[in-house]
Amino acid sequence: MVVGLILSYIAVFIIVGLMIAFWAFTGYIYWNRRKYAHIPCVPMPSFYFGHMKLFNKAIHGEDDLCIDALMFDWYKKTGSLVYCMHVLHVSIVIILEPKAVKAIMLDKRNPKPPEFHVFLRNLFGQRLMGRGLLTEPNNEEWHKRRVILNKAFHRRFLKDFMDPFNASTELFLDKLSEKADGKTPISMVEHLNRVTLDVISKVAFDLDLGIIEDENSFFNQTLLIAFEAALEGSSMSSKSWNSSYKEEVRRAIRTIRETGRECLSKRIDEMNSGKEVQEDILTYIIKSSQEVKGDDREKMEVMIDEFILFFFAGR
């Protein structure tokens, strides 16, 4: 009897506690969104989930939408280049106005929120882009490494790589010619992604991965698995709870990182032996690693982070 009474009290306390937590969370969501009430916002399908449903549809390509198309659609609906997006208790201000973007990017008082890139740093327990330039929260260290990498994008250096650029373009046009029968629809986005990745692999890292020629390129498929998983993770997809899916993603990431490790190790050995090497992005990534705080092992991991960053940018 006493035990039953105690259990009843415990159950009541738990239910009351959950109700208080629920209403507290509801109040916090309302309070947080009130702070951004002066900023235009498209209607939300759900009070609690906000725009999550619309965002997920764009990620998965439903309703012929992609992320960029969604952003443009919201711009048309709000009539503003600055508008707000809400997901649960998080509010994100989307800024498309060029002058405002420039001002924010140049203002050091706007640091990266650490939680914003959490799914890009580590995904399902596997290091993805760790401390790469996109995800590095330390502005001072980011700036030192960025200054070194900027040199790789100077017009004087890029002119030396016109031949690989043109070669990839010729391969791309040849591939399109094979498919141009006037009847078969093709995804230009996928083909443009391929040519971009081919240029990055050849120009930035001196790698020929056959991404354009081989439609079933192992590296491209592996990269796609990791890239889509990062988007899935950021949108809290149900796939994130599937253990076999998570293991597939971890294997893909390990494969990409191992490819980067082999590429970097080969170039480092060439530089240490005094061999003349290209002044490409790979070389500057190695040079910028001297600004990384940590031992040699951590420096290598950060260089691999940058390797993945460039290929993700190509996607």
Global pTM reads: 0.73
Between helix 296-314 and helix 188-199 the angle, nearest 10°, is: 140
* Spatial distance between the Cα atoms of 7 and 4, rounded to a whole number of angstroms: 5
For residue 295, pLDDT over 70 is answered with yes
**What's the mean pLDDT in 70-76?**
85
Helix (H, G, I), strand (E, B) or coil at 191: helix
* Spatial distance between the Cα atoms of 132 and 138, rounded to a whole number of angstroms: 11
**Within 13 Å of residue 101, how many CA atoms lie on the same side as its CB?**
7
* Spatial distance between the Cα atoms of 84 and 42, rounded to a whole number of angstroms: 8
pLDDT tens digits for 117-133? 777 788 888 888 888 88
pLDDT tens digits for 205-263? 888 888 888 778 888 888 888 888 887 765 556 666 778 888 888 899 999 999 989 98
Residue 2 pLDDT level (bands cut at 50, 70, 90): low
- Higher-confidence residue of 87 and 115: namely 87
**What's the mean pLDDT in 279-300?**
80
The angle at the Cα of 153, spanning 150 to 157, to the nearest 5 degrees, equals: 125
